[in-house]
Chain A
Amino acid sequence: MSEPILQIENVSKTYAARRALFGRTAEVRALKDVSISVQKGESFGLVGESGSGKTTLTRSILHLETPSAGRILFEGQDLARLSPADLRRLRARVQIVFQDPYASLNPRMSVRDIVTEPMLVHHDILGLSRTQRTDRAAELLSLVGLGPQHLTRYPHEFSGGQRQRICIARALASGPELLLLDEPTSALDVSVQAQVLNLLCELQDRLGLTYFFISHDLAVVRYLCSRVALIYRGELVEEGTTDEIFDTPKSDYARMLIGAMPEVKVRRGATA
């Protein structure tokens, strides 16, 4: 538990001003000097509202964007200094599950093609033959609660929860150690949310994964994560263990968020 798998050091990201019809648009500072450290095997929650820089941070971790300043280290290796080949190899070990399961699966690919694609791309590392890939895909599907009979189907034949399971299977296909979960349940029905969250807990126990869980849903974060960071307008507001943050919040923003959490109160006898 002591070894950090992911270190985000003083990362800033500024989107340059663009020429508009009249003058220039203001530059956008999406991230300001953010530092986070995620330990191996833990579930780290990142909480923030829309536009707070959560997505920019995930894109930076995946190296789909380059930070304007600061470093992102995966197991001590600076992502920005990796050669393209090393970066590709690293992509097998860091995977992501997106928020919208309806948009994140290619409608023209069968489930088999979707789930085996990471194995095909990382053929040099995994070295699986065609039949082995299909077997592994079936195995992954049963791991996420689907079955081999779903291999030849297409995404449109599945419900939102099932699609999210396919996304999880795809993310697991390359054998990652760190999984970024970008609000994986916020597009799902409440009952399905619980199923997917339980599946994620189960998978973590079984495969020893590290989760970087992004959400604006405090209840979900409290359920799943051991440590939490709050981000507001690109700045890290507070960081600590889940219990610390929820029981003794230090910042006003944290208190405000926790105060805004909907509580289910059962009023017995109120109408009687």
Chain B
Amino acid sequence: MTDSVQTPRTEPVRHRDDRLRRALFRFSQSKLSMIGAAIVAVVLFFAVFGTVLAPFPGHVAGAVDTANQFQAPSAAHLFGTNELGQDVLSLVMAGTTVSVLAGFGVVLIGSVIGTLVGAVAGFVGGWTDEGLMRLTDLTLTIPSLILAMAIAAALGPGFTNMVIAISLSWWPGYARLVRGEVLAAREEVYVTAARAIGASPARILFRHILPNVVSPIIVKMSLDMGFAILTVAGLGFIGIGVRPPTPEWGTLLSLSRANMPGYWWTAMAPGLAMFLAVFGFNLLGDGLRDILDPKARR
């Protein structure tokens, strides 16, 4: 009620704002979604600033302080120090960047490949559909971690190769989801209307069908973020991911395995970070699903 004069030009903007505000309101009504969003915000914050904010930046870069090895958690080292005397908190904070970036990369590449494959399969139909979906099924039958291991082993270890390796086993879920959605959207009357207008198949797919199937894709992406981070850590754990000294949660966890159970803190910090990240992204995904794609609710 701040402005009683409304020009017709601002009115439509207000309408769209209204929708967004209502969605945000519904989202904020769910405590779990808000907790999820908060955790994700913290994780993303550390992904960007973790390396800068780490209390012992030298340790992140690979410096060793063997005099202080295996210090128990204290005020100086909140999560203690590891076998090289490095501050575990600093390593975990800095490791966020790699984990989140890799997880995001995997989800992004996987969803782009999967969406293209699924959209083409569902839209074109016939033999194209058969071929693409059998390929998808074939990829699905191979355990993703094993496939990723094989690809990483073939391409050699490293950040980029790890992301590519996981992405190549990640897209089938999106392909199947998108194909189903496209099959349903293809029969909509507005698609027939676009055909009657004379719109090209590409125009129908990209302008009429895909915009109407993005909601479930976004929901799946946010739900998958957590699992992608977990898979990245899993590859790091078995030693195919990022090489030390670059800190990464899975690698940290794998190295601290030797220190169990006496120096439990070396494993707890990266484990806790992973747990929180996965938990946060899952809660956020659930919340997004409730506002974007209510019919998928179970």
Contacts and interface: CB of A to CB of B under 8 A. Distances in A.
A122 B198 contact: yes
Given A103-B190, A104-B189, A105-B190, A174 B12 contact: no
A146 to B, nearest CB: 13
B12 A153 contact: yes
Given A153-B15, A157-B15, A106 B190 contact: yes
B17 interface: no
B30 interface: no
B196 A149 contact: no
User: Chain A at the B interface: mostly helix, strand, loop or mixed?
Assistant: loop
Contacts of B194: 106, 117
Nearest to A125: B198
Interface residues on B, range: 20 to 34
User: Which 10 A-B pairs give the minimum distances between C-beta atoms?
Assistant: A91-B198, A152-B12, A103-B189, A108-B211, A104-B189, A106-B190, A149-B8, A88-B198, A118-B197, A62-B196
Interface of A: 62, 64, 87-88, 91-92, 94-96, 98, 100, 103-109, 117-118, 121-122, 149, 151-154, 157, 167, 170, 174
B198 A103 contact: no
B212 interface: yes
Contacts, number: 67
Nearest to A102: B189
A157 to B, nearest CB: 6
Contacts of A103: 188-190
A255 to B, nearest CB: 34
Given A106-B208, A107-B212, A64 B189 contact: no
B203 interface: yes
Given A91-B198, A121-B198, A121-B199, A108 B212 contact: yes
A96 B196 contact: yes
Interface in B183-222: 188-190, 192-200, 203, 207-208, 211-212
Nearest to A153: B12
B11 interface: yes
Contacts of A107: 212
Nearest to A174: B197
B126 to A, nearest CB: 15
A153 B16 CA distance: 8
A96 B197 CA distance: 9
Contacts of A151: 12
A170 B12 CA distance: 20
A174 B198 CA distance: 10
B186 to A, nearest CB: 13
B291 to A, nearest CB: 15
Nearest to B7: A149
A122 B192 CA distance: 17
A95 B196 contact: yes
B185 to A, nearest CB: 10
A164 to B, nearest CB: 12
14 contacts: A64-B192, A64-B196, A87-B198, A104-B193, A106-B190, A117-B199, A118-B197, A121-B198, A122-B198, A153-B12, A154-B16, A157-B15, A167-B193, A170-B197
Contacts of B197: 91, 95, 117-118, 121, 170, 174
Contacts of A117: 194, 197, 199, 207
A95 B193 CA distance: 9
Contacts of B188: 103
Nearest to B192: A64
Interface in B4-59: 8, 11-13, 15-16
